[in-house]
Structure 1
């Protein structure tokens, strides 16, 4: 995917949650490179401020708990006062909650993942929609996961939340189309980020044979998809789910060469 032109988001204001590292930081960098003013938010102040400094005058960092309605209102108010409105929202903040069998995951841990990964997206939509509507419309990109497209073992809280993000995206897309607000979801597969570093999956071709492309992805590959959906290059796209996963959710990879079954008659 080559994505939109380098100035595809010129003079637009984009909020990126979870922007201190990983996919969020890559999305913030890509949006700024495409011309946007970026309000990046996170609970990790040191890392978030470092990304904002790197982007210079195109970015500003705000400490932000996505489960807090007050924090969401503060972010939306700041964007309105400083930049005059909001053109794009990237709901990226999230946690994995670790790997646990369904019967081993506590209700408390399940609720925490859902609160951050799903309720945080809901609060973002509900808070930013009026600001975006008053500004004449815009684009929302909700970062779901390949786990929101299939049943992935040992991800009860995370998978349920990401499926919820997928469904909420479609509901919002239908409700907001008349307001010129597009809402789409991105579904990353296995990507090299701080969240996946502990898995020790090697870089390069052949490092991840579960995906047809045979490797893990990079945050920059997800960021290009996010910028595409934020920009006018995707002006007729809403309610879509874009898998950026190396084909992981497309189907199983054959582990042995296919041989013709001669018992099957030709047609």
Structure 2
């Protein structure tokens, strides 16, 4: 395949990566702020949608890891009552249910569908699934440096892709949780689960939904060579913790009460075979 449809070419350069924000998570190694240089690259304007992923599956017969395992994590309130009662929940995050039969085409489990969500980001895809898609598409996953440079949209050290105010003029600019998590979502931003991949305004570089909507896999390990070094590339070849790959952007489940990781500098990680109803990806390419 190897086409460039949907890709935005960025010239790269030096920018200030990371944050020392008091509301950040030092344990996630968001900081310190450091100057890094990124070479020119191209990146998707939008996360990979259900429609695009379906083309890949139809062409290759790929089975996601969620399908191979037979289950994946679904937000509990999206699961029908009888199924919710029989689905196991993690002790530390009981708002997730391990739902048998859930996967990207049935995101809430059996009898759910993406027929009305072809333009939404694909979810329930692991890092390994994302790599398989990239190999078919002739692309790759963005590095964390590339992702953050692109997500900042040309702004220097702004909290969000559009500035420092979460809702400028009362306007919602991303799909996150409003209300009391995880009990009640007021849906003031117009969405309960995922939103279309091109919802809201794009940032200064033309990227959509780099805050909220779905977490996005990156190429890197969830580790840093030396976070205090101005020459840190954020791409260790021998990570101290090889279990997790980095994810960026936050999701529709992020809420200021426990997870304000919809900030541009925020990051988290998960094992490369993990999947959930709020994890997707976008692709990148060399130029």
TM interval, short-chain normalised: under 0.3
Q: Which has the higher contact order (CA 8 A, sep 6+)?
A: 2
Q: TM-score w.r.t. structure 1 length?
A: 0.26
Q: Which has the higher helix share?
A: 1
